[in-house]
Structure 1
Amino acid sequence: MLVDTVMTAPVVSVDPSTSIANAAKLMLSLRISGLPVVESDGTLVGMLSEGDLLRRSELGTERKRPWWLEFLASPGKIADEYVQSHGRKVGEIMATGVVTTQRDASLEDIVELMRKHRVKRLPVVEDGKVIGIVARSDLLRALAKTLTAGPAIAGDDERIEAAVTAELNKQSWGGNGMIRVHAKDGTVELTGAIFDERARLAARVAAENIPGVKSVSDQIVSVEPMSGMVLVSPTGS
């Protein structure tokens, strides 16, 4: 899945001269937590997020340090923090050096960028202009849509068995064929043995994700490697 299938477009944005008050009202009214900051020609110059509005003198939340830390901090850093807590315009407190993405990037790339840079949203840029934005909520929306869309195909039992078995065989915890699969009328029965109890739920999840599976019956036994003690499924279904 690519970015242009999940991104929000067109993008609500503000320019650097927008007042902090108006930007905050806009974010509240639209129930969004971040705004791209663009010049009049659409060029991206920064991002304003809720986090940029936390340390504010109006709220009494500006950064305060013990005197000895204040003494050690550079005057330039203290000046930056003063602007962050007292600035009146978006351009004065916005984050610059914004991490961006492109419309043909994969969602895997997006998640990795968000994780690496610890950001919740990425502007989608083309020719230097913002054409969309992808946020965590867009990924969540895509996930919910995928999960509720139903199976792409409703395979017969033989096909289901083959698909579940293939998925188990791809996984290091899959038991190298020790977990057996039988499907009847869309119900998958898992039997055989595992040597780590954590593989039980993983096997069940693997089966549940195969299109056409209606339910899963867990009949797997777990063998404790050291003692040889055998544990049956806690539910048997």
Structure 2
Amino acid sequence: MAMGLPEQKTLVKIAADEAYLEGMLELPSHVTGLILFAHGSGSSRLSPRNNYVASVLRDAGLGTLLLDLLTPGEDRHYETRFDISLLTRRLELALTWIRQLPSPLATLPVGLFGASTGAASALRLAALMPGIVGAVVSRGGRADMAGADILRQVRAPTLLLVGGLDDVVIELNKAAYEQMQCERQLHIVPDATHLFEEAGALENVAQLATEWFLKHLAPAKKS
């Protein structure tokens, strides 16, 4: 059921270890759910691709939180960008922060949208918090980096979106798909490369992600 809230756009800071992670929380009026974004290696909450997808989600009544999972200092190190355990921990802190928001925001159903390495952290968090994460969408994601044992534990319905010209990532996603046991779909976007820069490709991704979240997000379970 949609919640009649005023539109909001708020810069937030979430405590993480000895640092703070900056993010942008945006809520449309009559919000029905909240999507937490997990950015890929070398990207940030300012990613034009993820911001476009987020705008389409908000038009459909879904709130969005785009968050920098790494501090500027951490992001300068190649190894940290690929530290899936660290990224998952940061994503978990963000989701915990969401669950502590004032009512009724704290009870909104939550989905995860992951890109590149962010998809691996999103899937790990989905396995860790099966009663909280309602659905997952991966855009050109490295789902395989979540690990086979974790993939088998994921219960949230998961949509894997891969560009039709992104040959290596297609094979990696096919392997991850075979490991997963939840409701899942692997969708190949025709004639698209890894970043979905071709005409109409990103629009396709945004539409598919929106449809997936609207279909699968249900009222969150009480923890």
Query: TM-score, structure 2 length as denominator?
Result: 0.22
Query: TM-score, structure 1 length as denominator?
Result: 0.21
**Which structure: larger Rg?**
1
Q: Structure 1 or 2: larger strand share?
A: 2
